[in-house]
Amino acid sequence: MIRLFRVSKRYPEGVTALHEVSLHIEKGEFAFLTGPSGAGKTTLLRLLFREERPTSGQIIIDGRNLIKLPRKEVPFFRRNIGLVFQDFKLIPHWTVYENVAFALEALGTPPREIRKRVLRVLGMVGLHGKMARKAAVLSGGEQQRVAIARALVKEPKILLADEPTGNLDNEMACRIMEIFEEINTRGTTIVMATHNYELVSRYGNRVIGLDRGRVVEATERVAEGT
């Protein structure tokens, strides 16, 4: 599903964010991207949703080579990718429903279909009863669940999450993880960047460790029950 071949990213100021990273993430996998701040986690995710292009190397996602992807194809590529960020990226003066529905409006989905799908994902993240509330009045955990709902409502093949639990307390972080696990069991490939090692060890998923732009650790998913 996701393949990287010797991907490097250097910025004009001379900073090397990633150095010859090669990776292969299978369809349906749930991988943690770990490492300290500045390890290159966010840069790697930004390359995966084509917010940036690598300086060298190749990135193949769902059969598409991102290096050769023309600019005007990028929106269509992103329709298969759900994105969740640490800072939620919600429109605070919009309601929960509007924030989620917006992702489908932008894709030209018919209103009836939008309503059906928004209600379904809001149910999934447990916010059915709060859909008329403004995003600004929700707690951090609730806001992140709205952001997840917005990412999921497009029914993406891949979910990329950048420190989704970074601003949340432990209890809320666990609730978010439960939702991710559930999405993953339905077949969505998930790549989640985090520096919360406790969370990583608790879930036993595949771990891709980054340090100063290089892959330093790559474990397979720990088998159930071991």
Partner 1 sequence: MRGVNYPYYFLAKALKGIKRHLFLNIVTVVIITFSMAIFGIFSLLFLYTKGVVDRWEERMGISAYLEEGIDRATLKALMDRIRAIDGVEGVRYISKEEAYRLFKRELSSLSDVVEDLDENPLPSSLEVRVRSGMEVEGVERIAREIGRLKGVEDVDFGGQWLKRLATILKLFRVSLVALSLFLFLTIVLIVSNTIRLTMFSRKDEIEIMELVGATERFIKMPFLIEGFLQGTIGAFTGALIVLGLHSAIFPKLGPFFMILSGNPSPRVPMAGLLLFMVLLGGALGIAGSSFAVKRFLEAA
Q: What residues make contact with partner 1 under the rule CB under 8 A?
A: 49, 72, 75-79, 81, 83, 89, 91, 102-103, 105-113, 150, 154
- Nearer residue to partner 1 within complex by CB, 75 or 123: 75
Q: How far apart are CA 152 and CA 187, in angstroms?
A: 12
Q: What are phi and psi of 185, to 5 degrees?
A: -65, -20
Is residue 218 within 8 Å of 209, Cβ to Cβ?
yes
Residue placing its CB nearer to partner 1 in the complex, 14 or 108? 108
- Shortest distance (Å) from residue 73 CB to partner 1: 10
Residue 105 CB, shortest distance to partner 1, in Å, is 6
Nearer to partner 1, 76 or 197 (CB): 76
Spatial separation of the C-alpha atoms in residues 130 and 85, rounded to whole Å = 21
Residue 60 pairs in a beta bridge with: 3, 65
Closest approach, Cβ 78 to partner 1, in A, equals 4
Cα 92 to chain center, whole Å?
21
Q: How many CB atoms lie within 10 A of CB 65?
A: 11
The nearer residue to partner 1, 86 or 109, going by C-beta atoms, is 109
Q: How far is the CB of 184 from partner 1 (least distance, A)?
A: 21
Nearer to partner 1, 137 or 222 (CB): 137
CA distance linking residue 190 with residue 9, whole number of Å: 22
Q: Which two tokens stand for residue 99?
A: 């924030």
**Least distance (Å) between residue 200 CB and partner 1:** 25
